[in-house]
A and B are shown apart, each in its own frame.
Chain A
Amino acid sequence: MTIIANNLIKEFGKPATRVIHGVNLEIHDSEFVAISGRSGSGKSTLLYLLSTLDEASDGEILIDGKNPKMMSVEEIHRFRNQNLGFVFQFHHLLPELTSIENVLLPARRNNHHKEKSAYALELLNHFGIANKKDKLPSQMSGGEQQRVAIARALIMQPRYLFADEPTGSLDSKNGRMVMDILMRANQEWQTTVVLVTHEPDYAAMAQREIYLVDGRISTRQDDLAASN
């Protein structure tokens, strides 16, 4: 089970500005991959293409051998619900729901929230916020909110977890805690993690780093050499 990108191209606007230039890559099952690069290098765009949230201008993506472009609206949303988890820079919790209700939101889509409630508690417990289960997001700190968002991303036990700068709005202590959780998800549950980060330390924690320069795959060393 892998994610394969073949000659991926993404353009925006008119006249078209190319952001991703013919990227080819393969992400293997249970791998922890960091996509890094400078600001504007196209790392978030590449993540959204790989995670089905965006469509490529050209080229193709295969997840588990399936091309998202060929899926119907219902199919792709069910696929996301059952196989993909997302963590964003901003937690995007629903403010009117408690943390446990937020965690169970993906399960509620198919009325599986009752069966999943024990697992939701287990996740909150795992992330050290079980005592916050009935709190609203406004009653929690930024780090706690982000941990709830990660629990929400993991509630359906997805095979892929896509995280877009999940530590970007956190202090270093909370950022470290979030990284530990992602690593644990990868090691304990064999979840394939694709992490976008511009922090070299966090990128170094991944098994493999995909470094982007102007929408092309490169290496950190080449980028440094070019800028010197």
Chain B
Amino acid sequence: MLFLALRHLLSRKRQTILIFFGISLGTLIFTVISGMQLGMREFITSRLLSNTSHIKISARDRLIDKVEITKRFYGDDAHVHWVIPPYGKREEAHIIYPQGWFDRLRDDPEVLGYSPSLTMNCIITRGASRYPATLSGIIPSLHERVMNLNRYITAGKLSDLSDGGNKVIVGTGVLSKVGAQLGDTLLVSSGLGEQRPLKIVGTLELGVKQVDETLMIGALRDVQQMNKTPGHLTEIAVALVDMDRAQAIADTWQLTSRDNVESWNQANAQFLQIFSIQDITRNVITFAILIVAGFGIYNVLSIMVSQKRREIAILRSIGYTPRQIVELFLIQGIILGVTGAVIGLVIGHLINRYLETITLGISMGLGNHLIISYAPSIYITGFLLAFISAVLASILPARAAGKLTPLEIIRSDT
């Protein structure tokens, strides 16, 4: 039936080209929009995940509680009216029992690695100027198992911090703000005591301005000493074997902990919401186009069926079964769907290749070009959408053709 189906399509070139164009346009737009949106998403996600672990265990601020203070000082039955109630933080937030977490994480088969850290605010003094920054203390060997920071290190390497010794890797934005360079020494103060000289042994650029202009990374022990909180941690970052289990595992851990336990998707809920809205927009546009193309196929095939009634009658009288007649028209829809989709995908891919070369006025990560995704899922989804809509649009006319009996057509002709 392929031979006849092809002849039918070729005998109506204009209609065929029109439908072909509709389907190709639908898949092309889907490919381009998806390529751009998913490219941007991959960029944002990679930035998020390089700063966010699968699960983040963080210290909970412990505030002074008026009722608790009252009970502690005046007993359970006392009724005290405070003129100025006690308020404020009890102490610097830190993880209550880090060793308990380490034991638990070490033994958990779902945990790939964990990285303890202490993050503190600090002030860099450079000549007469002062600049606020954030100093994170990590253990490089553990951190490398959790986050791929080396990718963003533009000079030096993370392991340079392994043996401590007041060394830091500094965001490129910080360097330009304070006017320092690799190998210089910065005077850094935690606000709790004397300034400490930290030598710049590396630079870091995540491509996120807010982070690059504030972040410094040092050895955990150095930072704990500077902060005068030996043994304290503000965060334990955890990498899982399966990141999709992060939410479930975080929920379980939270049940037995006073610290905050947050999965990567909870931490970045606002981005994930934007992604869902993008998905909806993209799917609505694509479905709209494919529905239009589908109606095109439906209309052309319906018209073809009514124009081909005589031919259907003769085919039936010479032994073609109703099923073969259905196949004849269904194949035409499938040919239109498959070829239209393939052409649309190829042109969409070429457009994406071109878009990638356009230089933008803004910085995108480490470059200034649009980031395009070429994920196979885009092409598979685009193809399936076009194919399924073409098949669905062909079913009704094809079935109508299959139901025609030779005699009713011959009688209506004579």
A contact set with B: CB distance below 8 Å: 44, 48, 53-54, 73-74, 77-82, 86, 88-90, 92-97, 105-106, 108-109, 152-153, 164-165
Whether the Cβ atoms of A77 and B320 lie closer than 8 Å is: yes
Instruction: State the 5 A-B residue pairs at the shortest beta-carbon distance, nearest first.
Output: A81-B319, A96-B11, A92-B314, A106-B318, A77-B321
Residues of B within 8 A of A53 (CB): 317, 406-407, 410
Whether the Cβ atoms of A96 and B313 lie closer than 8 Å is: no
Residues of A within 8 A of B323 (CB): 73
CB pairs A–B below 8 angstroms (17 shown): A53-B317, A53-B407, A53-B410, A73-B322, A73-B323, A77-B321, A79-B319, A81-B319, A88-B410, A94-B7, A94-B314, A95-B11, A97-B7, A108-B4, A109-B318, A153-B318, A164-B410
Give the size of the chain B interface in residues (CB under 8 angstroms): 25
Residues of B within 8 A of A44 (CB): 414
Whether the Cβ atoms of B318 and A152 lie closer than 8 Å is: yes
When C-beta atoms are compared, the residue in chain B nearest to A12 turns out to be B411
Whether the Cβ atoms of A105 and B7 lie closer than 8 Å is: no
* Nearest CB of B to A1, in Å: 19
B194, CB-defined interface residue at 8 Å: no
Contact for B321 among A74, A90, A95, A108, CB less than 8 A: A74
B contact set with A: CB distance below 8 Å: 3-4, 7-8, 10-11, 310-311, 313-324, 406-407, 410, 413-414
Whether the Cβ atoms of A80 and B317 lie closer than 8 Å is: yes
A73 to B319, CA, bound (A): 10
Residues of B within 8 A of A86 (CB): 314, 317-318
Given A53-B407, A54-B407, check contact A73 B310 (CB 8 Å).
Answer: no
Contact for B319 among A54, A80, A90, A92, CB less than 8 A: A80
Residues of B within 8 A of A80 (CB): 317-319
Contact for A81 among B4, B11, B318, B414, CB less than 8 A: B318
* Nearest CB of A to B192, in Å: 89
Whether the Cβ atoms of A92 and B313 lie closer than 8 Å is: yes
When C-beta atoms are compared, the residue in chain B nearest to A44 turns out to be B414
* Nearest CB of A to B2, in Å: 11
Given A53-B407, A95-B11, A97-B7, check contact A109 B314 (CB 8 Å).
Answer: no
* Nearest CB of B to A134, in Å: 14
* Nearest CB of A to B303, in Å: 15
When C-beta atoms are compared, the residue in chain B nearest to A51 turns out to be B317
Residues of B within 8 A of A81 (CB): 318-320
Residues of A within 8 A of B321 (CB): 73-74, 77
Given contacts A54-B407, A94-B7, 4 further A-B contacts (CB under 8 A): A53-B410, A74-B321, A77-B320, A86-B314
* Nearest CB of B to A122, in Å: 19
* Nearest CB of A to B349, in Å: 34
A92 to B321, CA, bound (A): 18
A88 to B409, CA, bound (A): 12
When C-beta atoms are compared, the residue in chain A nearest to B308 turns out to be A94
Residue from B4, B310, B321 with most neighbouring chain A CB atoms (10 Å): B321
Residues of A within 8 A of B318 (CB): 80-81, 86, 105-106, 109, 152-153
